[in-house]
Amino acid sequence: ISDRTGFRNVWEINVASLGLRQITSGPSWDQYPVVSRGGRLAYVSFGHQVDLYSIGSEPPHAEERLTFHSGENFMPSFSPNGRKLVYQSDRTGNTEIHLLDLDTKMERNLTDQPGPHLTPDWSPDGREIVFISSRQGKPQVWVMDWEGGSPRLLTSHTVPADPRGWTTGPMAPRWSPDGKAIAFRVLTESKDALWVVNSDGSNARQV
């Protein structure tokens, strides 16, 4: 993300040559870019309404608006095959995790529970989604099936999540590339630390 043009847009950097290429443009405030394995980009565009957009990583960069809801839609994560997205939205008055099928445009609420539910991330094998939930009164790391079933508390640690949702991006739990572990942040009275836990909930440790 760079504001070198006067607006906050998405840019690409070539890690070998360090060359820069602008991906999005215009008077928006673009944030939280994620890239599918097939090379498509999803990102949040701030305006009078906060929605998700998709754009190809190669020219001509055809842009597509993905959400058309009142409220704020944040923190997209692609399925491994790039054909679905999960994201958080407060369209119901409670911040919840929604699933969007990019082929059919059908959507479904995956967390119809007291919340908020924040920052979903799809597992590398496509079977599960990790997210932050306050369904037990405090923000903790949870895992559920990709269709929203069988939610389970991954660790009893409290994570530093803001109930407003949109400021929680830097706190998002994330899968390791092999899907065997999940990294998350823990907030105590004395420190804010990075932790890792096995995907079955065992061996939580500070790193």
What is residue 48's predicted lDDT score, i.e. its pLDDT?
A: 57
What is residue 26's predicted lDDT score, i.e. its pLDDT?
A: 66
Q: Provide the residue-wise pLDDT of the chain in tens; the chain has 207 residues.
A: 777 666 678 888 888 898 888 888 765 678 888 888 888 888 888 765 778 888 877 777 778 888 887 778 888 999 999 999 999 988 887 889 999 999 999 999 999 888 789 999 999 999 999 999 999 988 999 999 999 999 999 999 988 877 655 566 677 899 999 999 999 998 777 778 899 999 999 999 998
Q: From CA 24, how far away is CA 28, in angstroms rounded?
A: 9
What is residue 5's predicted lDDT score, i.e. its pLDDT?
A: 64
Amino acid (one-letter) located at 141: V
What is residue 99's predicted lDDT score, i.e. its pLDDT?
A: 96
21-28 long-range contacts, Cβ below 8 Å, gap at least 24? 23/55, 23/57, 23/61, 24/55, 24/61, 24/63
What is residue 21's predicted lDDT score, i.e. its pLDDT?
A: 86
What is residue 196's predicted lDDT score, i.e. its pLDDT?
A: 96
Q: What is the pTM of this model?
A: 0.76
Instruction: Please give, one letter per residue, the 3-state secondary structure of the chain.
Output: CECCCCCEECEEECCCCCCEEECCCCCCEEEEEEECCCCEEEEEEECCCEEEEEEECCCCCCEEECCCCCCEEEEEEECCCCCEEEEEECCCCCCEEEEEECCCCCEEECCCCCCCEEEEEECCCCCEEEEEECCCCCCEEEEEECCCCCCEECCCCCCCCCCCCCCCHHHCCEECCCCCEEEEEEECCCCEEEEEEECCCCCCEEC
What is residue 178's predicted lDDT score, i.e. its pLDDT?
A: 96
Residue count of the chain: 207
What is residue 104's predicted lDDT score, i.e. its pLDDT?
A: 93
* Residue 71 φ then ψ, to 5°: 90, -165
Contact 21, 11 (CB under 8 A): yes
